[in-house]
Structure 1
Amino acid sequence: MKTKDKIRIAIRADSSIHLGTGHIMRCLTLADELEKLEGKVVFFCRNLPGNLGSYIREKNYPCVYIDENPNLREPIDPNDDAAMTVNHLQLGDELYDAIIVDHYSLDAIWEKRILHKIDKLLVIDDLADRQHSCSVLVDQNLYLDMESRYDNLVPPDCRKLLGPQYALIRSEFTDNKTHVKPRDSVRRVLVCFGGTDPGNETSKVINALSEGIFRDLYIDVVIGKYNPHGSSVQKLCTSRPKTELHIQANNMSELMLNSDLAICSGGTITWERLAMGLPGITIAIADNQIEIASSLDHYGIDHYIGLSQIVDKQQIQNGLKRFMSGELNVAEASQKAMQFVDGFGAKIVASILMNEVLKK
C-alpha cells in the first residue's frame, strides 16, 4: 500500500476551437473528486488555438503545455505525442502514480509507451473504435449495445465502467437534483451547443425561435468565451425579446432547473441535462453524437432531429411544436431522464481509480 500523503495523477486531454471543450470540462470534474480523495492533479495539454489552459489554471490546477509548436493540429501521431508527454512527465523528482487520458487521437500505441513510466492508466472514451491498453476504461454514454462495445478492444483484466451511472458531471448538478420541479409545458428553452460551436448552430436556433408562436418563449442562450461567432450571437439575442445570453456560464444547473426544454448538441451537456430531468431537442454536431442522440430518442427522453449540416429552421420549429402541443410529453421525458443519471458518476470513478493506485 502507498503511504505518501498525495497521489500524483496526470491528465492528458486537449481543447481548441476545433476540438471543443468537452474533454477538458469532464476531466476537471473528475479532478475535483480526485482532489477530495487526496489526489494531486496536473493537466498535460497541447497549446492549440482556443484552448482552456488559462481556465484550467483558474480552477487551481497546473496546466503544462507539452508541445513546442503551438500550431500543431489534428491528426496527431500517437508516438510523437507519447514522446512529448513522457518528456514532461519526467520533470521533477516524483513519478506520477496514475494517468488519465481523454483523447480520440490516442490509442494503445500511445498508452503502451506511457505505461513504461506509469503503472496505472485510465482511459475515458466515447467511440469504441480503437484498441486500448489500460487498467480502467470509462464510457459514460448510453448505447443499445453498451455491454459489448469494448469486447476485444481492451485487455482482459481491464475494469470497464460503462453507462450513464458513470457520467462525469459536476457536483452542482447532484446538489440541485432535489430541487427539480415537475415540467408540464414548454415556456422556457435552454439553447447550448458547447463551448465553441464552430458551425454556429446557436444562431440557427435563435432564428428559428424568432418567428411566429416561438417568439413568446423565453430562452437562455449559453456560449463559451471562445465561441468564434460570439458577436453575431450577441446581436441576435439583443434583437429578440425574452432572450438572455450567458457567456461561459457558471450556473448551468440553475439554468437547467429554470428551463422546460433544451435545444442542444448531443455532447457532454447530455448527462448534465438528464441529471436535472431536462429533455431536449438534439442536433448532432459530430458523427460520434449520432448514436447517443438516437438512443435517447429511442428511450423517449430526447427528440433527435439530425446532423447539424442537414437540420434547418423548419425541423427545429417542428420539433418544438411536438413538445408544445403535447404530442411529445415533456413531463414523462423529464421523469425518464432523471432515472438514467443519478449524478454520482465522478465520485464513483475517482474512488475506483484511487483504489487501483493503492493496490500496489
Structure 2
Amino acid sequence: MSPNAVLLIRADAAPHMGTGHVMRCLALAQAARREGLDVHMICRLGVDWLRERLAREDIPLHCLPDMPPVAEAPDSLLRQLQAASLPVPGTAAAPIWVVLDGYHFDTACQLAVMRAGYRLLVIDDYAHLPEYHCDVLLNQNISAELLTYQGNIGRKLLGLDYVLLRQEFRDAHKRAQMRIRPQRPLNILVTLGGGNFIEYLEKIAAEMTLPEMTGHSVRIIQGAMNTERIRAAFARGPARLEVLPRVDDMPSLLLDTDLCITAGGSTCWELCCLGVPFLTILGAENQRHICYWLAEKGYAPRFSRVAFMAMLTDAQYCRHMVARLDQLVDAQGAARVLAPCKQLKA
C-alpha cells in the first residue's frame, strides 16, 4: 500500500455471530491509520454498544441496515463498496484495498471484488471455503499453516505472528508486565463474546457453583444475553456477581482479572498479550482447533469443574501458566499484516 492508499473494511456484528470480526478489523484499521492510510469501515452493527464503541474512533463508519445474511450477494457487496462517499477503482493512482472478514462473504464475493478492480485481503479462520481468490489471505490462528487453502491467493499470512491486537492492548502490554498478582485468583471474568450465548453461560455457572468460590468475585460480560437469566444462573453460588452491560476499557478489565473463562476466539490472544491465565469454552466450530491446541500445549485448559478448581486453588499452576502466555503473541501483528500489502502497487 502506498501512503495514500485506501482501505475499505467490510465486517459485520450481530447477536448470533458475535462481535469478533468487527473488533479485530478495528485493530487493522487503527494500524492503517497510524501509517497514514485512508480507512473506512462498512458494517452491519446489530449490537448497540459496538456502534457506540466504533463511533469513538477517528475512523469513518458507514452503517448498513438490517442483519447480516447467511450469504452476502456479490452485487449487493459491490453496491456497499461503491457508495457515493467511497472511492472506486480507476478514480485514483493509489490502490483501493477491500478487507472481507466474515463467513458470509463467499468465493463469489471475493471474485466480484477482484474483478471490480480492488485489491483484496481476506481474513479467515478455518479454511471453510473450497477456494479463495485474493491478493492476501490472513489467518491469525494457531497452526493456520497446517490448513489447505485452494484457489488464486497472492500471499498467505498464517499464524500468531499476524494476530490483530487493538491499540489499547499494545499500550497495556507494559502495564501487564509490572502487575503484582495475588497468590490465588480472586477476580474471575467470564466473556463469551458480544453475542447471545446464555446456554453456554448457564452450563459454566453450574460448574462454578462451589463452596470454594466464597470470597471470590465473578464478572460476566453481558454481550447480548439477558441480565435476569445471567443472575439466575449464578444465584446459587457464593461468589459476588457483577454483570457488565458494556466494557469501554477491555485492557484495564483484563489487568484487574486473575482468571478468565473465555470462548476460543480473539480474546485468547488479548489474554496472552496481557498475561492473564484462562480456560476456554468451545462456543463455535471454528474455535475447535484453537481450544484443543491451547489445552494440548499447556497454555490454557478446556473449561471443566476439575480444570477450574485446579486453577482456583493451585497458585503455582497459575503462575506457571502466566509465565508461558507472553511467549505466544506480541503487539506487532497488525503492522506485519500491512507490510506485504505495501509491496503491491495499484
Q: Does 1:335 align with 2:334?
A: no
* Superposed CA offset, 1:21-40 (max 9, x none): 11011111111111111112
Q: 1:148 to 1:78 in 2, by over 3 A?
A: farther
2:72/2:106 contact within 8 Å kept = no
* Superposed CA offset, 1:159-201 (max 9, x none): 2111112111112222222233475533321211111233343
Q: 1:348 to 1:81 in 2, by over 3 A?
A: same
Q: Give TM-score scaled by structure 1 length.
A: 0.82
Aligned partner of residue 326 in structure 2, secondary structure: helix
Aligned partner of residue 109 in structure 2, secondary structure: helix
Q: Does 1:39 align with 2:67?
A: no
What's 2:98 paired with? 99
> Take 1:21 and 1:142, find their aligned partners in 2: how far apart are those partners?
20
What's 1:76 paired with? 71
Structure 1 window deviating more from structure 2 (211-220 vs 176-185): it is 176-185
What's 1:169 paired with? 165
2:277/2:318 contact within 8 Å kept = yes
* Superposed CA offset, 1:74-123 (max 9, x none): 32244344343354378567566111110112233211211233331111
> Take 1:10 and 1:26, find their aligned partners in 2: how far apart are those partners?
14
Aligned partner of residue 134 in structure 2, secondary structure: coil
Which of 226, 230, 236 matches 1:229?
226
1:125/1:138 contact within 8 Å kept = yes
> Take 1:229 and 1:82, find their aligned partners in 2: how far apart are those partners?
33
1:10/1:44 contact within 8 Å kept = yes
Structure 1 window deviating more from structure 2 (206-215 vs 80-89): it is 80-89
* Superposed CA offset, 1:260-300 (max 9, x none): 22111111111101111122121111111111100010110
Q: 1:92 to 1:324 in 2, by over 3 A?
A: closer
> Take 2:180 and 2:86, find their aligned partners in 1: how far apart are those partners?
53
| Counterpart amino acid of residue 327 in structure 2 | Q
1:17/1:49 contact within 8 Å kept = yes
| Counterpart amino acid of residue 105 in structure 2 | L
CA-CA distance at 1:60 after TM superposition: 3.7
2:127/2:149 contact within 8 Å kept = no
Aligned partner of residue 115 in structure 1, secondary structure: helix
1:81/1:110 contact within 8 Å kept = no
2:190/2:220 contact within 8 Å kept = yes
> Take 1:82 and 1:175, find their aligned partners in 2: how far apart are those partners?
35
Q: 1:340 to 1:201 in 2, by over 3 A?
A: same
What's 2:141 paired with? 141
The sequence identity of aligned pairs, in percent, is 25
1:187/1:217 contact within 8 Å kept = yes
Aligned partner of residue 24 in structure 1, secondary structure: helix
CA-CA distance at 1:49 after TM superposition: 7.1
What's 2:23 paired with? 25
1:279/1:330 contact within 8 Å kept = yes
Q: Give TM-score scaled by structure 2 length.
A: 0.85
Which of 241, 255, 258 matches 1:257?
255
Aligned partner of residue 12 in structure 1, secondary structure: strand
2:102/2:124 contact within 8 Å kept = yes
What are the ranges of 5 or more consecutive residues in structure 2 without an aligned counterpart?
Answer: none
CA-CA distance at 1:235 after TM superposition: 6.8
Structure 1 window deviating more from structure 2 (229-238 vs 274-283): it is 229-238
> Take 1:282 and 1:197, find their aligned partners in 2: how far apart are those partners?
17
What's 2:116 paired with? 117
| Counterpart amino acid of residue 226 in structure 2 | H
Aligned partner of residue 135 in structure 1, secondary structure: strand
Q: 1:216 to 1:320 in 2, by over 3 A?
A: farther
Aligned partner of residue 216 in structure 1, secondary structure: coil
> Take 2:76 and 2:269, find their aligned partners in 1: how far apart are those partners?
30
